[in-house]
Amino acid sequence: MVRNSLPYNPATESFFMTTNPLPTIVTLDLEGVFTPEIWHAVAEETNIPALRLTTRDEPDYDKLMKYRINILQDNNLSLRNIQDVIASMALLPGARAFLDWLRCQTQAIILSDTFYEFAAPFMQKLGEPTLFCNMLQVNDRDMIVDYHLRIDDGKREAVMALKRINFRVIAAGDSYNDTTMLAAADHGILFRPPQNVIDDFPQFPVTSEYDELKELFTELLNG
């Protein structure tokens, strides 16, 4: 009854709607692909330049997050304050139309290192796509007191989990923290990456416009 390990049979190629008998899920990063960088915008809106620090400045993510949480507390900025800033941010131009197109072609899941509490306003603007990310911890005065990463290397683990239940995965992202996801996928694509990521990962095709991504996805989806 079950053919979960069915190898691709070239002899029957013409009978498949795609050349691959496994259905495809596209996984995509959030910030840099659909939205601006959240912390950058928060830094600007709140006039606290220290919040601009990223993992490029402080590679230890836990130190970076604790530092950010301390700054928010020192400035008496609640989760609601941050959410208000995020709700005022626009998607990248063309992001919604691109995702709408993609979701009509195949399944799409957004994989992000951000937090559901931050992402919610963006998800509404994107038409409530499925998002795998993390949770903040907030106290009874609505102050962020901690954060919880669901799992180490969460984007890569999600891709592996989808592959283990026999999906073909195409992944797209913009930065270093996407490269393990891109490598784990059947096909990895860079979208608007910085030059050092292009240099360090020459194996991934580079795209800079949604139309290029569309073309590449269409090619991969139609074999």
State which H helix or E strand residue 187 sits in.
Answer: strand 187-191
Q: Using the rule CB under 8 A, which residue among 11, 76, 148, 199 binds a second copy?
A: 148
Binding-residue total with a second copy (CB under 8 A): 55
Dihedral class, residue 65 (left if φ above 0, else alpha if ψ from -120 to 50, else beta): alpha
Which residue, 48 or 120, is less far from a second copy as judged by CB? 120
Smaller CB distance to a second copy: residue 12 or 195? 12
Residues 94-123 within binding reach of a second copy (CB under 8 A): 100, 103-104, 107-109, 116-117
The SS3 of residue 223 is coil
State in angstroms the smallest separation of the CB of 103 from a second copy: 4
Which candidate, 126, 131, 127, 128, places its Cα nearest to that of 116?
131
CA atoms within 13 A on the CB side of 162: 26
What single-letter amino acid sits at 199?
D
Q: Can residue 50 be called a binding residue for a second copy (CB under 8 A)?
A: no
Site string for a second copy, 159-178 (x = CB under 8 A): --xx-xxxx-----------
Which active-site residues does the annotation give? 29, 31
